[in-house]
Structure 1
Amino acid sequence: MSLNVWGYLDEYANEREELLQAVDAVFSSGRLVLGESVRGFETEFAAYHGIAHCVGLDNGTNAVQLTLESLGIGAGDEVITVANTAAPTIIAIVGSGATPVFVDVLADSCLMDTGQVESAITPRTKALLPVHLYGQCVDMAPLRGIARAHGLAIVEDCAQAHGARQHGRPAGTMSDAAAFSFYPTKVLGAYGDGGGVLTGDDAVAAKLRRLRYYGMEDEYYVVHTPAHNSRLDEVQAEILRRKLGRLDGYIADRRAVARRYEEGLRDVPGLQLPRTVPGNDHVFYVYVVRHPRRDHILAQLRRHGINLNVSYPWPVHTMTGFAHLGYRKGALPVTEALADSVFSLPMYPTLKKDDQDRVIEAVRNAAAVAL
């Protein structure tokens, strides 16, 4: 049997009846756009985080872009972030009209090196955009200090950190606003695209609601500022409402899988396992390991029907689509080294112990041959 990183079909089999009930509830309501399901999810997701507002959007990319726009960030401005992220983070910055400026990441956690941020600030810098990667948070205390000192906004990219915490504070509550993706693979995933923004700022929330709805407010056809069509779909919102109640359970199951990997792989020569930063509660969106002969190990595993993901094989600053930013190979040495060595083991709440044992044995055998 082939095994990969994600577990869509297992989840659907386990939750099928409730998911179909969610779809039927929306179709039976007669309100298919910005109805009770979106409002309900927004209220419940905000309450889960203990924050005033959630604004539902159509995807995580637009969640980042519209958040920047809601903060008045655009053409001529710079946003400091990392290249060790999925390209949509950077696409969103460019889409807002701003210019991404990259700092490197820490080798042990793969997260933003906050010690490099202050030296990257210029008179054009308007925001810091930390990416909470793989399921745990960037060190936010120094970023908040830098932001206060320089009058900068902070936007958290929480696409991979639903339910993660830092010193007890939920990811998404340590900034001016925070963007989430609800893509199906996420810790809290829909059955299609979806996104959202958390903020405690009434004005930012109000602007986001206008930006997602053509620039309109209460009265249809009255456009205050031309904007976007970026609404969260009612069906996806209702599915997310049902799944939100399971989020803590999903996280507990992911942590159990992570502990089993730790126990089975901690003594494998050359294999570096994930490190949870002190103060962080890791939710293990992905279980990312490192090995100097990564490609050899992946080839060996494919022969056994185990197909693993690499997050990420091409740093964003090296992609041709961002060549105009002017970065060259060698500009971000830690990010580039990670791209040559990281790979993700299967990680999802329904991963069976037998399948996990199969992965552990295959990785151990492949690593032994690799050395």
Structure 2
Amino acid sequence: MKVKFYSPQREYHEKKEEFNSAISKVIESGNFILGDEVSNLEESIKKYTGAKYAIGVASGTDALVIASDILGFKDGKEVITSPFTFLASASCLSKHNAKPVFVDVDEESFSLDANKIEEKITDKTVGILPIHLFSQMCNMDKIMSIAKFHNLRVLEDAAEAFGMRWKGTGSLYKHSGTVGDMGVFSFFPTKTLGAYGDAGMIVTNDDELGKLAKMFRVHGASKKYHYDYIGYNSRLDTIQAAVLSIKLKYIDNAIEKRAAVAKWYEERLSDCEYVRFPKIKGEQKGVYYVFNILAEKRDELAAYLKENEIGNSIYYPIPLHLQKCFSYLGYKEGDFPIAEKLSKEVIALPIYPEITEDEVDFVCNTIKKFYKR
């Protein structure tokens, strides 16, 4: 049996007529840049997340770069974030000549350890960039309390966190990206809400920040050919917005199916002593964008899965502080031992709403066979 890590064709064939109709409508209209589908999607995202503003941009990476610029994460200022994440979570700071300041992660959740933030705050610190990934949000109660006390801005990297909601000690669940000053989503095809190409979005509840984001995505223009800022050319493609609007209608069902798949994995691998699962911590509603395990002999297991035609991925094999591009920051091996340890053990298994129980059985049985060799 061959099990792909991700298979967009299944969803497409299930809803082929809807996708084809939406795409054809855009092509026939000829309105390819910031067309009606973009504004319609933005309204739908606002309604779904509870954000006051939703601004579509070309990618999740662009969303981070633009939001970092708007929040003043630049010109030698320091921003605290995690080393155990995708490049864009920190490169968005370096692009503006800000300094990423890393703190280690929590070993059980893989999330930025909020208890280690304050020791890294200096007179140059202007913000915190928590990353919601590995199926859960960071401890936003603690992070927002620290930010308020030290007068820091918070940019939530919710690129992998669409659908996740945090309650903490509050009375209401808040969608990822809407707790801090600004938040960003990526709609890269593999994401929980994924386009058929690159796409992203910025959300905020702040009037001024929302106004700036709308301007910054169109070269910094307040109106056509009137430029108040040096901005960006980063607009959500109208065809991608049309695709995303179709998928958004089914997002809750997709999230439920992902949770069911995660439960299959946990049930079938719970008796495997060589495998451990991350824990979702705090009062929140997680979303299984990926399903990660911590596995002994991880690299050998990855190779064995590949030999048996089972897709897998490693998020992330090298923490950011040890990446060549960040060598100028002066970090060394051993500075963040938990992130470094996790990077040698973590492996992601196939998970998407259309995967079958038989396929999950095959993946789990193959993992057990590997450890019985």
With structure 1 as the length reference, what TM-score do the two structures score?
Answer: 0.97
Matches of 1:47 and 1:100, distance apart in 2:
33
Contact 1:271-1:367 at 8 Å conserved across structures: no
Task: Name the aligned partner's letter for residue 148 of structure 2.
Answer: R
1:278-332 deviations in Å (ceiling 9; x for gaps): 3121211100000121112122222211131000111111111111111111111
Alignment of 1:133-148 (within 5 A): 133-148=133-148
1:228 counterpart residue number: 232
2:183 counterpart residue number: 178
Matches of 1:15 and 1:92, distance apart in 2:
36
Task: Name the aligned partner's letter for residue 367 of structure 1.
Answer: Y
Matches of 1:280 and 1:362, distance apart in 2:
32
Moved more, 273-282 or 157-166: 273-282
Matches of 1:153 and 1:223, distance apart in 2:
26
Q: 1:289 aligns with which of 270, 273, 293?
A: 293
Secondary structure in 1 aligned to 2:155? Answer: strand
Contact 1:66-1:96 at 8 Å conserved across structures: no
Alignment of 1:75-224 (within 5 A): 75-167=75-167, 168-218=173-223, 220-224=224-228
Deviation of 1:155 (Å): 0.7
Contact 2:83-2:339 at 8 Å conserved across structures: yes
Matches of 1:20 and 1:207, distance apart in 2:
34
Contact 1:212-1:227 at 8 Å conserved across structures: yes
Task: Name the aligned partner's letter for residue 283 of structure 1.
Answer: V
2:316 counterpart residue number: 312
1:264 counterpart residue number: 268
Deviation of 1:367 (Å): 2.5
Contact 1:270-1:291 at 8 Å conserved across structures: yes
Task: Name the aligned partner's letter for residue 48 of structure 1.
Answer: Y
1:13-45 deviations in Å (ceiling 9; x for gaps): 222221111111111223110121111111110
Matches of 1:29 and 1:97, distance apart in 2:
42
Task: Name the aligned partner's letter for residue 232 of structure 1.
Answer: L
Moved more, 9-18 or 175-184: 9-18
Secondary structure in 1 aligned to 2:127? Answer: strand
Matches of 2:372 and 2:123, distance apart in 1:
52
Deviation of 1:276 (Å): 1.6
Contact 1:274-1:287 at 8 Å conserved across structures: no
Matches of 2:73 and 2:93, distance apart in 1:
9
Q: 1:360 aligns with which of 344, 350, 364?
A: 364
Matches of 2:68 and 2:337, distance apart in 1:
28
1:41-76 deviations in Å (ceiling 9; x for gaps): 111101111121001000001111111111233111
2:49 counterpart residue number: 49
Deviation of 1:93 (Å): 1.5
Deviation of 1:224 (Å): 1.6
Matches of 2:149 and 2:244, distance apart in 1:
38
Segments of 5+ residues of structure 2 without an aligned counterpart are 168-172
Contact 1:311-1:343 at 8 Å conserved across structures: yes
Contact 1:58-1:194 at 8 Å conserved across structures: yes
2:170 counterpart residue number: none
Contact 2:110-2:278 at 8 Å conserved across structures: no
Q: 2:325 aligns with which of 303, 321, 324?
A: 321
Contact 1:310-1:342 at 8 Å conserved across structures: yes
2:281 counterpart residue number: 277
Deviation of 1:115 (Å): 0.6
User: Is the counterpart of residue 64 in structure 1 residue 68 in structure 2?
Assistant: no
1:219-254 deviations in Å (ceiling 9; x for gaps): x22222221101111111111111111111110000
Task: Name the aligned partner's letter for residue 23 of structure 1.
Answer: I
Deviation of 1:274 (Å): 2.8
Moved more, 252-261 or 241-250: 241-250
Deviation of 1:2 (Å): 2.9
Deviation of 1:188 (Å): 0.3
1:36 counterpart residue number: 36
Task: Name the aligned partner's letter for residue 299 of structure 2.
Answer: D
Task: Name the aligned partner's letter for residue 130 of structure 1.
Answer: P
Segments of 5+ residues of structure 1 without an aligned counterpart are none
Secondary structure in 2 aligned to 1:334? Answer: helix
Identical amino acids, percent of aligned pairs:
35
User: How many residues end up aligned between the 2 structures?
Assistant: 368
